[in-house]
Amino acid sequence: MKTRCGKTCMLTKIKFQSRLDKNLEDLFFPSLAAMSLQSSTPEALRVVNLLQERNLLPPTPIPAPMPCLPQDLQKVNCNPEVFRCTLTSIPQTQSLLNKAKMPLGLLLHPFKDLSQLPVVTSSTIVRCRSCRTYINPFVSFLDQRRWKCNLCYRVNDVPEEFMYNPVSRAYGEPHKRPEVQNATIEFIAPSEYMLRPPQPAVYLFVLDVSHNAVETGYLNVFCQSLLDNINALPGDSRTKVGFITFDSTIHFYNLQEGLSQPQMLIVSDIEGETCLIFLSISLVQDLLKNLPNLFQKTMETQSALGSALQAAFKLLSPTGGRMSVFQTQLPNLGVGALQSREDPNQRASAKDIQHLSPATDFYKKLALDCSGQQVAVDLFLLSAQYCDLASLGCISRYSAGSVYYYPSYHHQHNPAQVERFQKDLKRYLTRKIGFEAVMRIRCTKGLSIHTFHGNFFVRSTDLLSLPNVNPDAGFAVQMSIEENLDDMQVVSFQAALLYTSSKGERRIRVHTLCLPVVNSLSDIFAGADVQAITGLLACMAVDRSVTASLSDARDAMTNAAIDSLASYRQSVLTIQQPGLLAPACLRLFPLYILALLKQKAFRTGTSTRLDDRVFAMCQLKYQPLAYAMLMIHPALYRVDDLTDEGALNINERTIPQPRVLQLSVEKLNREGAFLMDTGMIMYLWVGRNCNPNFLTQVLGVPSYTYLLPDLDTAESQRTRAFIGWLRDQRPFSPTLHIIKDESQLKSSFMQNMIEDRTEAALSYYEFLLHLQQQISK
């Protein structure tokens, strides 16, 4: 029988039987786990000399490695976009893991928008009586009436209702039920999964209306965007919407039925005020039309953000809900007031960056209060000045909210940011949302979880409190092996997310991942997922930067590359040879580590605003892996010579597929046009001597504008189809900057040329030499 990883299991006398008839443990020939992958060296273990093989980037995006499982298990395994592990082959012991020198952890995107999601309505949700694991494709049926848990191995009875299969309408086939055929499934939960009646969808908008805020012009964009999307807010007949505005005072708005127009109530001391004030849609629309004009002439420069947040918390406490806060300056009045901690002269020179941790615990404490009342806080920061995101960001981090950051936002001077703000708002207002959620991650006996990454509050050792959950949030966890996994061929991980939908249904989304257990170092290396490892190391480095220092975090990342390649050389390679050697599956690891060292979050020697750095750290901890990888190692394409050769055809659109280029100036030339995708921003760099045909047929002019026009030419359609396809693969809207050779933005573009040397950082080749020197010490 062939498994997916290229080795053949010699099972001539043993036939895999259905999971109904056999235990999972018995399905495996006893020597399967012991068989080393090196019997026929798979591609993952091909030896690569990094100093000689320079063009290592594959021409197309890198897929997640496939775990080495029997095909009947692999075909029902969890989608790696939702759930993946840094090692797709789990070491049998902690000492073996320590020897491999690679981190063990999971990366999750649990509420991701899915095109297909099986939903089960049942009065009986089948779970293990001992560890409470949900029944899944990797349990084993001892017979029709008993199943064995794949996490704690307890034998459980199959309930009578589970004997009937609602899909096939057949009786007596529990192993064919959707719960046992799908690694991702959603249950509509019965009443015992509710502590209280499901809460309504409640949205409270908290808006900075100081002079600084009015100057940016954000209020007009916000009001228009909410007007356009008010009917698309997720919810039902119970949905409530409310508003607070603030400068040095707090302004409430009475939007109750029966009023002919919204009433504003101004409060300078919010103690004792708990009057709210939700919702008549017609009054909301009136308010949104008038709000920008109400404060047009204000000269109020102070910002009492802390008091506004406290007021908003009081209003939302009885129900829970979502608080959306829009802030344009450093809060400087009342509780939570902050002072500037940034010294612009230290931005480039300091080896260690100060003030990455909060200046006050006010925002964290308030976030924990919010979390306890099922309130999440999302922060939109639109500012040209330092705002102390390290302090303000705590309000979102610990309440399971998210942070949006628009540096130098201005309605006239920065149209690209305005466009991004509009598109982000549309997605934010209309995407699905889960309220009063909790997530628990369980794993097979012997494994344990010890650190979580993302935005949440850890309520107990393995329970994350998520007052809101959204489809764009990612999470990561670190794991260790507490007991040897000697007798196990496979282990499983299960993430269960319990939430209230915007329609008031209590639902449980369950993801289960199954991975093989191995007992040789070569098998561990062969199963390494280089992108997942990089994503987890980035999360760990953010924590290290805050708790220790930036230089500590940078050293730890470099050491991760040195240690894993040294372990590979010493313990896996059978024939020693000169050079810097890596298995093919880790050939990009040094490049990704160098990319992290040059990333805005961790770079030194380059002028980086403190808020920009802190926001990059927030993103690395919070974004799902696919988007984080674009931040870490952007994708570069040549686009002035796009053709239909090898193109994809999606919904009757032809999408060109140019190859991914190395991030080096060597790959640019002045006759071409190059697109760089950094996740949040795309740059279209047009060379000084660019083909005139591209200028006229794609840009529509002999010179450049920042917009990409919609021209009726084949070249224009190809370019826009490709950029549109890239944009469609993420939930947020990246800004597109078209830049010339002499453009101010050219330096931002060039800073992403990770393989090149800068004054402050090594080139890729120099970095490889440094690694080799450390390994051979």
Q: What's the pLDDT at 279?
A: 57
Q: For 427, left (φ over 0), alpha (ψ -120 to 50), or beta?
A: alpha
pLDDT digits 0-9 by tens, 730-756: 888 888 889 987 788 888 899 999 999
pLDDT digits 0-9 by tens, 568-596: 999 998 888 889 999 999 999 999 999 99
Q: What is the mean pLDDT of the chain?
A: 89
- What does the alpha-carbon distance between residue 725 and residue 635 come to, in Å, rounded to a whole number? 14
Lowest mean pLDDT among 257-266, 339-348, 483-492, 627-636: 257-266
- What percent of the chain lies above the pLDDT cut of 70? 91
Residue 354 vs residue 461, higher pLDDT: 354
Q: What's the pLDDT at 348?
A: 61
- Cα distances from 204 to residues 272, 309, 321, 443, 565, in angstroms, run 19, 11, 8, 38, 51
Instruction: Quickly state the pLDDT bin for 232 (edges 50, 70, 90).
Output: very high
As to burial, measured by CB atoms within 10 angstroms (0-12 exposed, 13-18 middle, 19+ buried), residue 294 is: middle
Checking if the pLDDT of 344 tops 50, the result is yes
Instruction: Look up the CATH architecture of domain 634-751.
Output: 3-Layer(aba) Sandwich (3.40)
pLDDT digits 0-9 by tens, 163-218: 988 777 788 789 899 999 999 999 998 888 887 889 999 999 999 999 999 999 99
pLDDT digits 0-9 by tens, 94-104: 999 999 999 99
Q: What is the 3-state secondary structure (H, E, C) of 399-465?
A: CCCCEEEEECCCCCCCHHHHHHHHHHHHHHHHCCCEEEEEEEEEECCCEEEEEEECCCEEEECCEEE
Fold of 202-343+366-430: Rossmann fold (3.40.50)
Nearest Cα to Cα of residue 369 among 340, 336, 332, 339: 336
pLDDT, average across residues 60-70: 93
pLDDT digits 0-9 by tens, 490-548: 999 999 999 999 999 999 999 999 999 999 999 999 999 999 999 999 999 999 999 99
Residues paired with residue 382 on neighbouring β-strands, in sequence order: 406
Lowest mean pLDDT among 170-174, 298-302, 517-521, 618-622: 170-174
Q: For 169, left (φ over 0), alpha (ψ -120 to 50), or beta?
A: left
DSSP code string of 243-308 = EEEESSSEEEEE--TT-SS-EEEEES--TT--------HHHHHHHHHHHHHHTTT-------HHHH
- What does the alpha-carbon distance between residue 539 and residue 631 come to, in Å, rounded to a whole number? 13
State the sign of the Cα–Cα–Cα–Cα dihedral 255, 258, 261, 265: negative
Nearest Cα to Cα of residue 247 among 275, 266, 228: 266
Q: What's the pLDDT at 758?
A: 86
Q: Are 443 and 418 in contact (CB under 8 A)?
A: no
Amino acid at 557: M
- What does the alpha-carbon distance between residue 140 and residue 491 come to, in Å, rounded to a whole number? 13
Q: What's the pLDDT at 61?
A: 86
Q: Order across the sheet with 681-686: list the strands.
A: 635-638, 673-677, 681-686, 735-739
Q: What's the pLDDT at 276?
A: 46
pLDDT, average across residues 345-369: 86
pLDDT, average across residues 50-75: 92
Q: What's the pLDDT at 274?
A: 38
Q: Are 683 and 700 in contact (CB under 8 A)?
A: no
Amino acid at 649: N
- What does the alpha-carbon distance between residue 114 and residue 111 come to, in Å, rounded to a whole number? 8
Checking if the pLDDT of 403 tops 90, the result is yes
pLDDT digits 0-9 by tens, 408-430: 999 999 988 999 999 999 999 99
pLDDT digits 0-9 by tens, 82-91: 999 999 999 9
Checking if the pLDDT of 290 tops 50, the result is yes
- What does the alpha-carbon distance between residue 345 and residue 128 come to, in Å, rounded to a whole number? 59
Instruction: Quickly state the pLDDT bin for 3 (edges 50, 70, 90).
Output: very low
The domain limits of the chain are 119-195+434-526, 202-343+366-430, 527-629+761-776, 634-751
- What does the alpha-carbon distance between residue 540 and residue 400 come to, in Å, rounded to a whole number? 19
Residue 688 vs residue 434, higher pLDDT: 434
- What does the alpha-carbon distance between residue 440 and residue 456 come to, in Å, rounded to a whole number? 12
Q: What's the pLDDT at 253?
A: 86
Amino acid at 55: N
**Both structure tokens of 150:** 């794949």
- What does the alpha-carbon distance between residue 373 and residue 60 come to, in Å, rounded to a whole number? 46
Nearest Cα to Cα of residue 534 among 103, 62, 53, 100: 103
- What does the alpha-carbon distance between residue 349 and residue 464 come to, in Å, rounded to a whole number? 39
* Global pTM value: 0.92
Q: What's the pLDDT at 269?
A: 53
**Do β-strands 184-188 and 119-121 pair in parallel, antiparallel, or remain unpaired?**
parallel
Checking if the pLDDT of 25 tops 50, the result is no
Count CA within 13 A, CB hemisphere, residue 55: 6
Q: What's the pLDDT at 389?
A: 98
Percent helix, strand and coil across the chain, each to the nearest 5: 30, 25, 45
Residues paired with residue 119 on neighbouring β-strands, in sequence order: 186
Instruction: Quickly state the pLDDT bin for 21 (edges 50, 70, 90).
Output: very low
Checking if the pLDDT of 9 tops 70, the result is no
Considering the four listed CATH numbers 1.20.120.730, 3.10.330.10, 3.90.25.10, 1.10.600.10, the one that applies to the domain covering 527-629+761-776 is: 1.20.120.730
Residue 17 vs residue 318, higher pLDDT: 318
The number of helix segments (H) and strand segments (E) in the chain equals 22, 32
Amino acid at 60: T
Residue 554 vs residue 38, higher pLDDT: 554
Instruction: Quickly state the pLDDT bin for 703 (edges 50, 70, 90).
Output: low
Q: Are 446 and 706 in contact (CB under 8 A)?
A: no
Q: What's the pLDDT at 380?
A: 98
CATH number of 119-195+434-526: 2.60.40.1670
